[in-house]
A and B are shown apart, each in its own frame.
Chain A
């Protein structure tokens, strides 16, 4: 990796060992499934075998009578959920839909939807009990494809749902939950000015976040009405508020204890098992633990949606885009709320366009309710737009990176959805890609191709809280509410350390439950290092202020005379007056008491992220199989707090993007049942499927954050499918318009090109 900034900080930009590392490499870290409690009962969930069915009745009496069964719950046990909408991480959700997603109401809307849950003395008894629950289903025809769903006369998932248009409430009953539009300039006039026009349609399959830890939740509902939840979540406060609304319990009665989390990528924000555990715990008076099997994770939790997309783009001979039109139809799954909104805003974001129009449609289908997945919505629309751009470049015989330099967005440019960009580093990523040796290295063999693509993600800020207390030995303890999925304890602690002039190791971060820290928004949206980093920065400033005052008191001098330089408090005037941080810390109890700093923030000043990727592939024209030969990811990370974890986020995003590009997909049969709900047949990349992934961190500091943090986690998943599609095109001369570009699909495209089978 390379960075472009000279050393400005003592701690930021270094690579300390993460504070929770030893626990995790020795197997001692406690994840949700590792929890054991006295008197623990085990829960299991009955799931719908049908993709679409009316539930006429549920008879749980035989299950309840089975020895060892302690309680059974169904949808009727959830208090009538109010029809409110809650902002949840990267999506908003209507509580009635969330309630039906947690336990079905009068309809099952996807195979795998939870119908009932059982608590028993052990898992085997619970499983046996599931088989005794009698559900009377009336199967209905399923709608499993976005294009089928929007046809007139398609079976309706929600008979009472009216299509919403941003700005217009229609009276139309359909599976289109929502439609919106962005417009800039004059599309038709722009197309008139074009010398080349490329128009393509795309179809992409649903894919899953694929975290290795399955969902789990344990609940204890005490007789005093206090509910404690232990779970694997990206946002403990989000779990608390969802539970409060679903169960109609005051938030103050709920304590959510976030266990270590084995991956989330957006998929562990919405609740699934937690409400069931709570209901079962209330009925039994015992703690109840539920964990999902891998198949339940695939079938019962949110994938990111399959899509149908259309892109039309015109450009002139000078290499300027004159007009672009994008239409996006995203599958929301069983309930409204696909990430089409973000997908639409991201689609053309890297480009400064005069004339453009984007239409987005949120469409319900009989599949699991979509959840956020790393830059939700952006990867799909980038697949469409970035491959069309490549084709435009091919027709114009312009280098695709040079083309991006000509059209790329910069500070002050207006996005198609309206707002203007602040300081962004898109062009810097393109220039770094152009300059990278990878881009100049010959491909060195037949059936090889090189592709490039760019990507955009907004990043996020939001609410966060942090406490820092000074220990007598000169270290500080940092308490935060941000769940650590990929090394944020260290990236947050480093920011406090920088302020206090301490080494990163002298800050001891702990992630605590919802009763022990102020409100903190999810670990998601690439927000944590920015927002909790800001909270830690502010809390450290609070500590610093108090320590300066304490030193002033000890030295009987005005506080203005004292400064903190590299961990030493000293008088600006008297060189004899100095105390190291540790020396001063040791005197606190005797000079006025302990020092604790705190901060709660609503972080603004979010700096967006751009990435530009280069990939070399080799395709076997006889089998259609693509191998990734070399991969280079360039990204504007803002200031890289801990470069190793920035690289790690980039490499992980690229790996997921490669999986999405080549092999991952939900494979549904005609009945809408997923046929490949295992890690054997849902083909995530193994170590043999990937090369080393070279990363180039471009640092264009975000002016909205004291250390210039932007957020890095999400954008790296955006360019890979498009970059790989472009590389395959250059290797074989066929334009891929589907995801995944599995060997069978590549073969079909080749046969089509050759006008028949070889």
Chain B
């Protein structure tokens, strides 16, 4: 209790302050301290991607980031993907394509896929598969996930001015 550090980070666009111990991961702080439980834990060693977040514009596993490292940085999580205007096209496509079953990996996939589409608006199927190889899904066989991401890319392209 004595060892806590004060951290200020920009989480989903909001300046956020929290106290954490140095050994706490960003995942722990998001879930336990900040109550943002949309980011999931599947393995806690960087092999499943369920805890994917975007740190300073870069896709990372939040289980492999110390919370203290986020001082002054931006963190974007699943909670920030849908806006007041509604679901993100990826979320909408995941629903339409039935790209989730149990749903535990879904936030990680959506955060990861959004990071891809913001960088590469028109990826190939193979590119989608490569980008998402760090996200495990045990329910779907990835078929509908890949289709949803490719479908969302089309929707997002069409929406561009």
Interface residue ranges, A against B (CB under 8 Å) = 15, 17-18, 20-22, 24-31, 33-34, 36, 209-214, 260-265, 293-294, 485-487, 642, 644-645, 647-649, 651-656, 678-680, 684-688, 690, 692-693
Contact = CB atoms under 8 A, between A and B. Distances in A.
A652 B137 CA distance: 9
7 contacts: A20-B103, A27-B79, A211-B138, A213-B104, A263-B138, A679-B48, A687-B145
B102 A36 contact: no
Nearest to A291: B41
A21 B44 CA distance: 25
B144 interface: yes
B42 A214 contact: yes
Contact of A294 (B43, B135, B143): B43
B68 interface: no
A263 B82 contact: no
A123 to B, nearest CB: 9
Interface in B67-88: 77-79, 81-82, 87
Nearest to B134: A686
A28, A31, A212, A293 pick with most chain B CB within 10 angstroms: A212
A25 B91 contact: yes
B155 interface: no
B141 A652 contact: yes
A294 B42 contact: yes
B54 interface: no
Contacts of B147: 692
B26 interface: no
A693 B130 CA distance: 17
B55 interface: no
Given A29-B103, A652-B139, A684-B136, A645 B45 contact: no
A261 B104 CA distance: 8
A680 B94 contact: no
A678 B47 CA distance: 8
Contacts of B129: 687-688
B78 A684 contact: no
Contacts of A649: 101
**What is the predominant secondary structure among interface residues of chain B facing chain A?**
loop
Contact of A651 (B79, B87, B141): B141
A656 B146 CA distance: 17
| Chain B interface bracket (under 10, 10 to 19, 20 to 34, 35 or more) | 35 or more
Contacts of B32: 36
A679 B45 contact: yes
Interface in B5-52: 31-32, 35-45, 47-48, 50
Nearest to A27: B38
A685 B146 CA distance: 14
A403 to B, nearest CB: 28
B153 interface: no
A486 B77 CA distance: 24
Contacts of B104: 31, 211-213, 260, 262-263
Given A22-B87, A26-B81, A294-B44, A645 B98 contact: yes
Contacts of B146: 687, 692
Nearest to A35: B37
A28 B35 CA distance: 11
A566 B87 CA distance: 31
Given A263-B104, A679-B43, A27 B95 contact: no
Given A22-B95, A648-B101, A27 B107 contact: yes
A27 B39 contact: yes
Max chain A Cβ within 10 angstroms of own Cβ: one of B36, B134, B141: B141
B129 to A, nearest CB: 4
A434 to B, nearest CB: 23
A648 B41 CA distance: 23
Contact of B136 (A25, A644, A654, A686): A686
B45 A294 contact: yes
Given A26-B87, A27-B77, A294-B42, A644 B138 contact: no
Given A27-B38, A687-B135, A688-B133, A654 B141 contact: yes
Nearest to A633: B141
B106 A24 contact: yes
A301 B95 CA distance: 32
Nearest to A42: B32
Interface pairs A-B: 6 shortest CB-CB: A27-B38, A262-B104, A655-B141, A24-B103, A486-B101, A651-B141
Contacts of B145: 687
Among B44, B135, B147, the most chain A Cβ lie within 10 Å of the Cβ of B44
Contact of B35 (A21, A36, A679): A36
A648 B144 contact: yes
Nearest to A631: B141
B141 A34 contact: no
A212 B105 contact: yes
B42 A679 contact: yes
Given A213-B40, A656-B138, A692-B146, 6 more contacts: A21-B95, A25-B106, A33-B37, A263-B139, A644-B98, A687-B145
